[in-house]
Amino acid sequence: MNKVLVTAALCLVFGTSAYMSIYGLTAVFSGSILVVICMGAGMELGKILTVVHLHRNWKQSNILTKFFYIMVVGTLTLITSVEVMGFLSQQHTITIQDLKTTESTIELLDQEAMVLESQITETDKTLDGLPRAFVTKRFREREKAGYFLKQNRLLEIKREQTKLNAQYISSKEYAGPVFSTARILGVDEQKTISIFILILVAILEPLSIGLTIATSAAWNKMKPEIIKNSDIQIHRKKSASRMADPAETARTANPKPAKTAETAKAANEAAKTANKTAEDLHPYTIEFREMRKRHTLSLKVISDITGRRQQLTVGGWLNERPVIPIKSLRLLRKWARQRPLIRLVENG
């Protein structure tokens, strides 16, 4: 999974969701816009960080901590969903209001045109009773009744109606897919819009949380620096220098007589370990030891990770008896990648 693409998708989804949520909060609490914006941004960012923390520390967290974090994230998700629903509904209402305003204007123009046409028709019927020779009188009567002004107004109404009809069709095409779906399904347009908004709200926040987890997992899969080749060489050189020191060798190889059986046994084990040269240390063993130190792993935890029931076998891996199998080492590497790294500082 490309971590850059996942992060970009998260930024787009989270950014739009946060914008709609903050916009809704500022609309409700318009008295202190700056404070509300800071509060909303903090809530949205805190939600994302809480999800990341919960994902990375799920196994280490107890049930009470998990429940608390889940409750916090759920509450913030509910608040954001309500704000997103309000924002989308408001934007749809604005679009519908424009359409309704256009429809009302067209209806008023239709009624005005009907009245004017009725008046013009009435004037024509009245003047039809005059003889044909009274042309001047007809003209004066029509001018007196505003006949020509009414005709000019009718022409203006036709032009306005043509312009508004074009605007209405354009506005309806803007929301065409939803209205077309409503007509195909035979459902009321308002119900279709409401269902569509509910679907968007229901998928937006879960998608944001899912992308947050995916982004956290993608960036957390970066290979940790377990042991560098230079670290191995330094370790070998130090071990070789200790073995080359005659005093150190004599002191280690010839320990003082043990007073008890346990002390003698421990001295014998120390002598065997000291006699093992640095060149004999297997890289798998070195890596295994460093990994155990970094993460403070107990033998039981290592047994659970690698699937080895015998802790004696796991303990033998530390002394190369036998060398840790590559399969078990890979399981430990995979487990370590999912944990934050703890760098060791070697003194001396």
What pLDDT, on a 0 to 100 scale, did the predictor assign at position 68?
92
CB burial string 247-265: b at 16+ within 10 A, e below: eeeeebeebeeeeeeeeee
CA angle centred on 250, ends 248 and 254, rounded to 5°: 125
Q: Look up residue 283 and give its two tokens.
A: 């890289």
Q: What percent of the chain has pLDDT over 90?
A: 3
Mean pLDDT of the chain: 75
How confident is the model over 229-250, as a mean pLDDT?
51
166, 184, 307, 311, 333 from 328: Cα distances, Å: 72, 60, 8, 13, 9
**What is the model's pLDDT at position 259?**
47
Q: Supply the pLDDT for residue 25.
A: 84
- Measured CA to CA, the distance from residue 88 to residue 95 in angstroms comes to 11
Residue 345: pLDDT band (50, 70, 90) is: very low
Q: Please give the pLDDT value at position 227.
A: 42
Tens digits of per-residue pLDDT, 279-333? 456 788 888 888 888 888 888 888 888 887 777 788 887 777 788 888 888 888 8
Q: Work out the average pLDDT over 65-88.
A: 89
* pLDDT category of residue 260 using cuts at 50, 70 and 90: low
Predicted local distance difference test score (pLDDT) of residue 71 = 93
In this prediction the pTM is: 0.46
302, 314 contact by CB (below 8 A): yes
What is the predicted pLDDT for the residue at 67? 92
Q: Which of residues 146 and 267 earns the better pLDDT score?
A: 146
Give the pLDDT mean for 202-230: 73
Q: 27-31, 90-94, 134-138, 250-254: which range is least confident on average? A: 250-254
pLDDT tens digits, one per residue of 101-145: 777 888 888 888 888 888 778 777 776 766 666 667 767 777 777
The sign of the CA dihedral 276, 278, 282, 285 is: positive
Summarised one tens digit per residue, pLDDT across range 180-191 is 666 677 666 677
